[in-house]
Chain A
Amino acid sequence: MCRTSQSHVMTRLRFNEISRYFFAILVSLWRRVQIGRTGTRTTAIHCTGCTNSDMLSRLVFVSASALKSSGPLGAGLVQASRCLHTSPQTLAPVPPLPEEGGKTRHGIIPEEIFQFLYPKTGVTGPYMLGTGLLLYMLSKEIYVINHETFAAACIGIVIIYGTKKFGPSVAAFADKLNEDKVAKAQEVKDLATRSLTEAIQEEEKEQWRVEGRGALFDAKRNNVQMLLETNHRERLHMVTNEVKKRLDYQISLQNLHRRMQQEHLVDWVEKSVIKSITPQQEKESIAKCITDLKLLAKTTQAKATA
């Protein structure tokens, strides 16, 4: 609950501002009186723009501050209460919320009371105070035990049981609500961080790929060179083959020529020889052949009978 802004307003009002407010109020009142007389609507609209309650509330502030700055107490009243302020009196930066709530003993009585009474009455002091107070009120019949006491006991049991049983789970639920809020915002942040990291990694990969591009081109170049080389060699082979074929043809042609020449020569020689054989020579040769044959027949016969 930040009511401190109002106290700031009050301390800073000065006399000329107070007089200005009074004047503004007087003017608005005068205008309303005039409207009542003439009954025109146009000025009424202008006046109701700054509403009546606005003026009246300023009147309240004005009178309070007028009280504060005048009189025997005066401005000192605001300054005197400053030592009782426990929270910082500014709104920015926003002060952090405490992690734990106020410490209490037995769930209700603030720990500060025990600390306050400790120096004078020790550890049992507040308990003695409580018991004594209770017994005092009962014995002097300041508090009378009646039917309401039992009703109070019942509702007390219900409240205490409820708090003890459902307190932790409700607190956990409230914490979970806050944590879910934080988690949602964190999720957005994490998603952004993740997508940006992934983008960075992709970019680095692309840069690495660019480096490898040279090797790729070299490989491609080598490929092309090999293809050209293979082609060249194939053509060389083809050329040699063709040339060889041509040369073989020529060789075989020459060989043919020579053979034909040889055969022709042999034929001519045979013909001439045959032509040269006289009939007498023929007879002699045939007689020789017959004698040879007879001889042979004899020898074989002799071999056979032997």
Chain B
Amino acid sequence: MALNFFDQFMSPTYMGIPLMALALTLPWLLYPTPTTRWLNNRLLTLQSWFINRFTQQLLMPLNVGGHKWALMLTSLMMFLFTINLLGLLPYTFTPTTQLSLNMGLAVPLWLATVIIGMRNQPTAALGHLLPEGTPALLIPVLIIIETISLFIRPLALGVRLTANLTAGHLLIQLIATAVYVLLPMMTTVALLTATVLFLLTLLEVAVAMIQAYVFVLLLSLYLQENV
């Protein structure tokens, strides 16, 4: 079956049954449930260690009100991390390449932070619209600019994740196609391109992890401003 470049970004269906729910929930099976044992096997020890360290690191700059978001942010991180990394395997579908999913994650979470800020401390939340030490003439302009930047945030969050992953996957496909096509024709060039592909794969692994982290980090920053 010939693959279109954009087939990988189509929402998977099987005989008309959408498989998106499976694509989103099956990665959960990769993580073992914590047991009641004191000493666990290596996988569970590493998983617990990683989750604990990550949560500690993420919540360090937040005050106590922000600690309510610990579960949300850590589980979001694990979700995006896993889905991004699993998407690098061949013939897999990456749900985070869908703008709808990413906007669906970004907009409610961002809006939650804004509403929390406006509700609990409206002066401080509005005060963020004017950075300290601006000259008096620039105040109106700056407020407009900061408001625009505030509303761009969910768009940026969602599109950043989508664009990074989509671009990465597309690049992998393109360069892999180049290798495939060049292999019988110009083998040396194909090998060079294969090196490029290898390096790109490494980059994509890094990008997958970093983008997940950046998403969650930015959300925690927005929360920090507002809580």
Interface hit among B20-28, B39-47, B66-74? B39-47
**Interface residue B161 (Cβ < 8 Å from any Cβ of A):** no
Verify B173–A151 contact, CB threshold 8 A: yes
CB distance from B168 to the nearest CB of A (A): 11
Q: How many residues of B contact A (CB 8 A)?
A: 33
CB distance from B220 to the nearest CB of A (A): 26
With A147-B176, A150-B179, A177-B49 known as contacts, the answer to whether A158 contacts B201 (CB < 8 A) is yes
Verify A147–B42 contact, CB threshold 8 A: no
A198 to B90, CA, bound (A): 65
With A97-B40, A154-B201, A174-B46 known as contacts, the answer to whether A147 contacts B173 (CB < 8 A) is yes
A147 to B177, CA, bound (A): 5
**Interface residue B30 (Cβ < 8 Å from any Cβ of A):** no
Chain A, Cβ-Cβ closest to B173: A147
**Interface residue B186 (Cβ < 8 Å from any Cβ of A):** no
Chain A, Cβ-Cβ closest to B39: A178
With A154-B198, A155-B89 known as contacts, the answer to whether A97 contacts B176 (CB < 8 A) is no
With A158-B205, A170-B46 known as contacts, the answer to whether A148 contacts B41 (CB < 8 A) is no
With A152-B90, A182-B39 known as contacts, the answer to whether A147 contacts B180 (CB < 8 A) is yes
Q: How many residues of A contact B (CB 8 A)?
A: 26
Q: Which B residues touch A152, using CB under 8 A?
A: 89-91
CB distance from A173 to the nearest CB of B (A): 8
Verify A150–B180 contact, CB threshold 8 A: yes
**Interface residue A175 (Cβ < 8 Å from any Cβ of B):** yes
Q: Which B residues touch A170, using CB under 8 A?
A: 46
A178 to B45, CA, bound (A): 8
Chain A residues 79-117 with CB under 8 Å of chain B are: 94, 97, 101
With A97-B40, A170-B46, A181-B38 known as contacts, the answer to whether A148 contacts B198 (CB < 8 A) is no
Chain B, Cβ-Cβ closest to A178: B39
**Interface residue B32 (Cβ < 8 Å from any Cβ of A):** yes
A148 to B7, CA, bound (A): 12
Q: Which A residues touch B201, using CB under 8 A?
A: 151, 154-155, 158
**Interface residue A73 (Cβ < 8 Å from any Cβ of B):** no
CB distance from B90 to the nearest CB of A (A): 4
With A154-B197, A181-B38 known as contacts, the answer to whether A149 contacts B45 (CB < 8 A) is no
CB distance from B114 to the nearest CB of A (A): 31
Chain A, Cβ-Cβ closest to B198: A154
**Interface residue A146 (Cβ < 8 Å from any Cβ of B):** yes
**Interface residue B112 (Cβ < 8 Å from any Cβ of A):** no
Chain B residues 178-227 with CB under 8 Å of chain A are: 179-180, 194, 197-198, 200-202, 205
Q: Which A residues touch B43, using CB under 8 A?
A: 174
- By a beta-carbon cutoff of 8 Å, the part of chain B in contact with chain A is 1-3, 32-33, 36-43, 45-46, 49, 88-91, 172-173, 176-177, 179-180, 194, 197-198, 200-202, 205
Beyond A150-B197, A154-B194, A178-B39, 13 additional contacts (C-beta under 8 Å) are: A97-B41, A101-B41, A145-B180, A146-B3, A147-B173, A149-B90, A150-B176, A151-B90, A158-B201, A173-B46, A174-B45, A181-B38, A182-B39
Report 25 cross-chain contacts, Cβ distance below 8 Å, ordered by A residue.
A97-B37, A101-B41, A144-B1, A145-B180, A147-B3, A147-B176, A147-B177, A147-B179, A150-B197, A151-B172, A151-B173, A151-B201, A152-B89, A154-B198, A154-B200, A154-B201, A155-B89, A155-B90, A157-B198, A158-B202, A171-B42, A174-B45, A175-B42, A177-B46, A181-B38
